[in-house]
Amino acid sequence: MAAPDCSRRNFLQSTAASGAVAGLLATTAARAGGANQRLRIGVIGAGNRGFNTLTKTLSRLRQAGRQLDLVSVADVYAVHRQRWVDYVQQQTGVKASSHLDYHDLLQEKNLDAVVIATPDHWHAKITLDALAAGKDVYCEKPMTHTIEEGRQVVSAWKNSGRVMQVGVQLTSLPVWDMAREMINQGKLGKVVQFQTESARNSKFGMSRHNVITKEMTPQTVDFRRFLGVDEGFHPEVPFDRSLFGQWRCYWAFGYGMYSDLFVHRVTGMLKATGLRMPGRVVGGGGIFLEYDDRQVADVASIIADFYEGVQGLVSSAMVSEELKLEHVIRGHHGLLRFDKNCSGNSGKGTFEFLPERPQVTRDSDSKAETFEAATQLNIVATHMSNWLDAIESGRPEMVNNDPALGAAAVMLVNLAVRSYREGKVFQVDRQGEIQNGDGSWAARWEQMSQTQAKPQHVPGWAAAEVGSVLYPPEYQKLAGPWKDGRPPEAG
Ligand X SMILES: NC(=O)c1ccc[n+]([C@@H]2O[C@H](COP(=O)([O-])OP(=O)(O)OC[C@H]3O[C@@H](n4cnc5c(N)ncnc54)[C@H](O)[C@@H]3O)[C@@H](O)[C@H]2O)c1
What is the Cα–Cα distance from 10 to 362, expressed in whole angstroms? 55
Q: Which residue is nearest to ligand X (CB)?
A: 47
Cβ at position 434, least distance to ligand X in Å: 23
239 vs 371 by CB, closer to ligand X? 239
Dihedral over Cα of 87, 88, 89, 95: its sign: negative
- Helix ranges (H only) for 369-487 are 379-392, 403-422, 440-450
Cβ at position 80, least distance to ligand X in Å: 4
- Interface residue with ligand X, options 31, 62, 66, 141 (CB under 6 A): 141
- Interface residue with ligand X, options 158, 225, 348, 424 (CB under 6 A): 225
DSSP code, position 237: -
- Interface residue with ligand X, options 69, 75, 290, 298 (CB under 6 A): 75
Bridge partners of residue 69, in order along the sequence: 40
Task: Assess 48 for contact with ligand X (CB under 6 A).
Answer: yes
Question: What number of residues does the chain have?
Answer: 491
Task: Assess 150 for contact with ligand X (CB under 6 A).
Answer: no
- Distance from chain centroid for Cα 3: 34
Binding mask 100-119 for ligand X (x = CB under 6 A): --x--------------xxx
- Interface residue with ligand X, options 122, 255, 306, 420 (CB under 6 A): 122
- Interface residue with ligand X, options 169, 343, 400, 427 (CB under 6 A): 169
Task: Assess 306 for contact with ligand X (CB under 6 A).
Answer: no
Query: What are the phi and psi torsion angles at 249 (to 5°)?
Result: -85, 0
Query: What are the phi and psi torsion angles at 36 (to 5°)?
Result: 50, 45
Task: Assess 130 for contact with ligand X (CB under 6 A).
Answer: no
Task: Assess 45 for contact with ligand X (CB under 6 A).
Answer: yes
Cβ at position 178, least distance to ligand X in Å: 22
| Interface region with ligand X, contact rule CB under 6 A, candidates 23-31, 48-56, 58-66, 197-205 | 48-56
- Interface residue with ligand X, options 58, 69, 157, 167 (CB under 6 A): 167
Rg value, the chain, Cα: 25
Q: Which residues of 350-389 are buried (b: 16+ CB within 10 A; e: fewer)?
A: ebebbbbeeeebeeeebeeeebebebebbbbbbbbbbbbb
Cβ pair 274, 181 in contact under 8 A: no
To the nearest 10°, the Cα dihedral for 435, 440, 442, 447?
Answer: -150
Task: Assess 120 for contact with ligand X (CB under 6 A).
Answer: yes
Cβ at position 261, least distance to ligand X in Å: 9
Binding mask 189-208 for ligand X (x = CB under 6 A): --------------------
- Interface residue with ligand X, options 43, 44, 300, 313 (CB under 6 A): 44
- Helix ranges (H only) for 195-319 are 223-227, 241-245, 257, 263-273
Task: Assess 76 for contact with ligand X (CB under 6 A).
Answer: yes
What is the Cα–Cα distance from 37 to 420, expressed in whole angstroms? 49
Cβ at position 234, least distance to ligand X in Å: 11
CA distances from 380 to 50, 127, 199, 347 (A): 12, 20, 21, 8
Cβ pair 471, 194 in contact under 8 A: no
Task: Assess 234 for contact with ligand X (CB under 6 A).
Answer: no
57 vs 468 by CB, closer to ligand X? 57
- Among positions 238-277, residues that touch ligand X (CB under 6 A) are 245, 260
100 vs 282 by CB, closer to ligand X? 100
| Interface region with ligand X, contact rule CB under 6 A, candidates 39-47, 55-63, 198-206, 449-457 | 39-47
- Interface residue with ligand X, options 12, 39, 46, 153 (CB under 6 A): 46
The site that binds ligand X (CB under 6 A) totals a number of residues, namely: 26
Long-range contacts of 471-475 (CB under 8 A, 24+ apart): 471/362
What is the Cα–Cα distance from 156 to 135, expressed in whole angstroms? 12
Which chain residues interact with ligand X by CB under 6 A?
A: 44-50, 74-77, 80, 102, 117-120, 122, 140-141, 167, 169, 225-226, 245, 260
